[in-house]
Amino acid sequence: MFGGWFRKALRILLLLGFLAPARQSLAWTLELGPDVRLGITAYLQARARFAEGEAPDGRSWSKDFYLRRVRLILTGDLSRHLSFVVHTEQADFGKGGRWDVAFFLSDAFGTLRVREEFQIDVGRMLTPPGRQHFGSSSRLHGMDFQSPVIRWAPGSQHNGRATGVQVRGDVLGGRLGYRVGVFRGASSRPLQQDATGQAVSDRDGRPVLVANPSSWPRVAGYLRYSPVGVEKGFYSVGLHFADQPIVSLGAGFDVQPRGAMNRPAVLGPDGQVAVPGSLGTAWAVAADLFADIPVGAARDQEFVGLLLVSWYDHGRELAWDAGGAARTVPARTSGLGIAGEFGWRWRFLEPVVSLDWVRGRQRGTDTLALRPGFNFWIRKHAANVKVEVEVRRDGDLRRAPWRKRVELQVQLIF
């Protein structure tokens, strides 16, 4: 029964792929005057998720249907030098039967374009250190971001975004790109937590150790060099449907002063702080290699690959044993991560595979995930269907069981 349904769905996808034109998007653009434009775009990603052990009984496979992302996107030009972007977001609507998920502003920033080589972004935006950290979720190569390898200092972002000011530009004809920004950092987030995850407080109910009490800003930057081809724009793209080869190398950093715990505070018998805790810098570095190589006389084939290496140091945290004793250990978000992705597109069909490997500095926080999949590029990024299978281990990779997941996603941009 399932095989027959799958074959019918596959025939429909193949027919749509052959008949659909190659137009990228159906977005509306309104010309409001000389150099004044308003663009209106919406997109949704609808998913079917079947995951081992995610059913309410904790053992069976889940059979979940939900909206991974629903967005309304406004873009505009107010002059030749001034533009803006506003994205709304409602993520995982209906996942696991939850319909009360938040609706919020995702991206909201304006750009002053002095020259191609010098642009200033102000507002709420995606930040470095790595290529996938500021990637466009509507123009991904695989089904989603490789989230085990993408991390931030706790409390320094929301949905991968932060509010601040960024300077960026493309020089050498687009071969060299840079961005560096100052953003609102983590502030007043409790870092010393008890066994239940609640803030450890003194006798008066005040948390004994919070992140960044002086409200120092967060600083992040990224530098990209393309020895072959050109990449431009605010967002990185996972698949260009390129006419010419593109190869780029990038590296970045993310620094949050006083955003990590070095040493916990010690409470005295009266419940007051006897020995103050100390804070250190939370930081990250990343490097990536991206290649998008079209082949064939008609450029109807394309090899795409990404390698991202990132390292995070987010200080220390408390670990509690069954007897109520605590010790300091490296933060669970600290460690080394490697993400790889590779695909071969023939016209609108593409097998793709991705791999995530994380070696956490805290014992038992490792991850290994392998995700083979298949993409149907019906209207390139404007309309596509992706199927992905994941096998994954989390924790102690020598003992952790493999968990399996199958997902199907339909993306529409209109």
pLDDT in tens, 239-277: 999 999 999 999 999 999 999 999 999 999 998 999 999
Residue 308 pairs with which residues in a beta bridge?
Answer: 288, 339
Please state the three-class secondary structure of the chain as a single string. Answer: CHHHHHHHHHHHHHHHHHHCCCCCCCCEEEEEECCEEEEEEEEEEEEEEEECCCCCCCCCCCCEEEEEEEEEEEEEECCCCEEEEEEEEEEEECHHHCCCCCCEEEEEEEEEEEECCEEEEEEEEECCCCHHHHECHHHCCCCCCCHHHCCCCCCCCECCEEEEEEEEEEEHHHCEEEEEEEECCCCCCECCECCCCCECECCCCCECCECCCCCCCEEEEEEEEEEECCCCCCCECCCCCCCCCEEEEEEEEEEEEEEEEEECCEECCCCCEEECCEEEEEEEEEEEEEEEEEECCCCCEEEEEEEEEEEEECCEEEEECCCCCEEEEECCCCEEEEEEEEEEEECCEEEEEEEEEEEECCCCCEEEEEEEEEEEEEEEECEEEEEEEEEEEEECCCCCCCEEEEEEEEEEEC
- Higher-confidence residue of 108 and 188: namely 108
Tokens of 249: 């190398």
Tokens of 215: 């409200």
**168 Cβ neighbours under 8 A, 6+ residues apart:** 119, 121, 177, 178, 179, 180, 234
Q: Looking at residues 391-396, what average pLDDT do you find?
A: 96
**pLDDT given for residue 11 in this prediction:** 53
Domain interval for residue 376: 2-413
Residue 381 pairs with which residues in a beta bridge?
Answer: 379
Q: Looking at residues 180-200, what average pLDDT do you find?
A: 92
What's the CA dihedral at 249, 255, 259, 260 to 10 degrees?
60
Residue 14: pLDDT above 50? Answer: no
Residue 22: pLDDT above 50? Answer: no
Q: HSE of 315 in the Cβ direction (CA atoms, 13 Å)?
A: 27
Q: HSE of 370 in the Cβ direction (CA atoms, 13 Å)?
A: 3
Mean pLDDT value across the chain = 92
Tokens of 335: 């460690």
**pLDDT given for residue 18 in this prediction:** 45
| CA–CA gap between residue 176 and residue 163 (Å, rounded) | 25
Residue 1: pLDDT above 50? Answer: no
Residue 385: pLDDT above 80? Answer: yes
197-255: pLDDT as tens digits: 899 999 999 999 999 999 999 999 999 999 999 999 999 999 999 999 999 999 999 99
Contact 331, 156 (CB under 8 A): no
Block residue for tokens 């702080």: 273
- Higher-confidence residue of 32 and 372: namely 372
Block residue for tokens 């992040």: 220
312-330: pLDDT as tens digits: 999 999 999 888 889 999 9
Residue 26: pLDDT above 90? Answer: no
Q: Looking at residues 275-303, what average pLDDT do you find?
A: 95
The CATH number of whichever domain residue 404 belongs to comes to 2.40.160.10
Domain total of the chain: 1
Residue 393 pairs with which residues in a beta bridge?
Answer: 368
Contact 158, 227 (CB under 8 A): no
- Higher-confidence residue of 137 and 11: namely 137
Tokens of 138: 């509507």
Q: Looking at residues 372-379, what average pLDDT do you find?
A: 97
Nearest in space to 210 (alpha carbons), one of 187, 239, 180, 237? 187
Q: Looking at residues 169-176, what average pLDDT do you find?
A: 94
58-95: pLDDT as tens digits: 889 999 999 999 999 999 999 999 999 999 999 999 99
Q: What is the largest CA-CA distance in the chain?
A: 79
| CA–CA gap between residue 309 and residue 129 (Å, rounded) | 11
146-173 burial, b at 16+ Cβ within 10 Å, e below that, comes to bebbbbbbbbbbeebbbebebbbbbeee
Question: By mean pLDDT, which of 54-58, 242-246, 387-391 is the weakest?
Answer: 54-58
What's the whole-model pTM score?
0.90
**For the chain, percent of residues with pLDDT exceeding 90:** 80
Residue 145: pLDDT above 50? Answer: yes
Question: By mean pLDDT, which of 53-57, 122-126, 348-352 is the weakest?
Answer: 53-57
Could you tell me the pLDDT band of residue 4, with boundaries at 50, 70 and 90? low
**pLDDT given for residue 229 in this prediction:** 95
At 124, the amino acid letter reads R
